[in-house]
Amino acid sequence: MSAEIRWGVVGPGRIAENVMADFAHVHGARPVAVASRSADRAAAFAGRHGLERAHGSYAGILADPDVDVLYVATPHPQHAAIALAAIDAGKALLVEKAFTATTAGAAAVVERARERGVFVMEAMWTRFQPAVVRLRDLVADGAIGGVRSVQADLGVARDYDPLDRLFALELGGGALLDLGVYVVSFAQMLLGTPDTVHVAGSLFPTGADAEAALLLGYADGRTATLTTSLRYPTPGAARVMGTGGWIDVLPRFHHPDTIVLHRAGAEPETITRPATGTGYAHELAEVTACLQAGRTESAVMPLSDTLAVQAVLGQAADQLGIRHADDPAAFT
């Protein structure tokens, strides 16, 4: 891999628009191409962001020899098919969360990536935020003793619109895959993979989930209580509780600037670590550095963690009666 990592964007939607500005903060990364199933959309995106090439098909960017890594930001059900085709083409991947629509889809992508030795990482920007990196260091250093419980919530109030992607089951709509992935991934980062998953919630008329409360249980008694919603707003806070104190992650926890350390017998300590740019620069830098070093997985966001998170989301969906599906025809 060359010293400069050349990036392509698949799916020029809202999140891709937001991510583009942060490339300016990443040494050794250069966005060069975009692909959409609409040639006009691809051309417009390329024009706005100064990209050299716009492809009117996903196959076009996979065949582009001057692209090293793809940032995939299409709707969730399209991720698996696009990722599998990209891995076969030898393209490294940063895949937006939720990684896939189903646990089986995630497992297929991970298996193929490992089989082919191609770098793949889920775009869970939370793990790379400087404030969260500091939280993980504090926990690892025993600042709050042994972690016993995690609380996290992420919800917004959205007016129900069956034509909007957020409420369309076939497009991966619903609270779990859009917002629940953050609370589950945060808990998994600190507690590991749960032994039990219990969920309560409700569905929209489209069959997509409107709200969900999850209780993750561990054989040794540790727990995570997690809330996600498209029906009502929540603070977007998180709390990590240990045997010797706790850490509050101030809203919104999935891209925080500030954490507050509470230790038994000590004054609370406020720690602020702002993100670079919009906050996406850190995950882009991780992928770029991994590729430059020849790694096939990130140590911060390993594929085993992605699989564990997808399994929890899948179990929660099953219990709520949601039938997510990957779109095998997505790659065109």
Distance in angstroms (rounded) separating the CA atoms of residues 184 and 182: 6
Kindly compute the dihedral angle of the four CA atoms of residues 229, 234, 236, 241, in this order, to the nearest 10 degrees.
-100
- Give the tens place of pLDDT for each residue, 67-118: 999 999 999 999 999 999 999 999 999 999 999 999 999 999 999 999 999 9
Tell me whether the omega of the peptide bond preceding residue 98 falls within 30 degrees of 0, making it cis. yes
Closest CA to 27 of 281, 280, 296: 281
Distance in angstroms (rounded) separating the CA atoms of residues 86 and 99: 14
In the prediction, which pLDDT does 3 show? Answer: 87
- Give the tens place of pLDDT for each residue, 256-271: 999 999 998 999 999 9
In the prediction, which pLDDT does 139 show? Answer: 98
Distance in angstroms (rounded) separating the CA atoms of residues 278 and 83: 25
Q: Compute the Cα dihedral for 202, 203, 204, 210 and give only its sign.
A: positive
| Per-residue pLDDT at 2 exceeds 70 | no
- Give the tens place of pLDDT for each residue, 27-67: 999 999 999 999 999 999 999 999 999 999 999 999 999 99
Q: Are 249 and 199 in contact (CB under 8 A)?
A: no
At position 225, the amino acid (one-letter code) is T
In the prediction, which pLDDT does 1 show? Answer: 54
| Per-residue pLDDT at 331 exceeds 90 | no
% of the chain beyond a pLDDT of 90: 97
In the prediction, which pLDDT does 79 show? Answer: 97
Closest CA to 281 of 49, 4, 90, 22: 22
Distance in angstroms (rounded) separating the CA atoms of residues 154 and 236: 5
Prediction pTM value: 0.97
In sequence order, the β-bridge partners of residue 258 are 272
Distance in angstroms (rounded) separating the CA atoms of residues 42 and 12: 7
In the prediction, which pLDDT does 330 show? Answer: 81
Q: Out of 21-25, 122-126, 162-166, 199-203, which region has the weakest mean confidence (pLDDT)? A: 162-166
- Give the tens place of pLDDT for each residue, 302-328: 999 999 999 999 999 999 999 999 998
24: burial class by Cβ within 10 Å (0-12, 13-18, 19+)? Answer: exposed
- Give the tens place of pLDDT for each residue, 108-162: 999 999 999 999 999 999 999 999 999 999 999 999 999 999 999 999 999 999 9
| Per-residue pLDDT at 332 exceeds 80 | no
In the prediction, which pLDDT does 329 show? Answer: 86
Contacts of 137 (CB under 8 A, 6+ apart): none
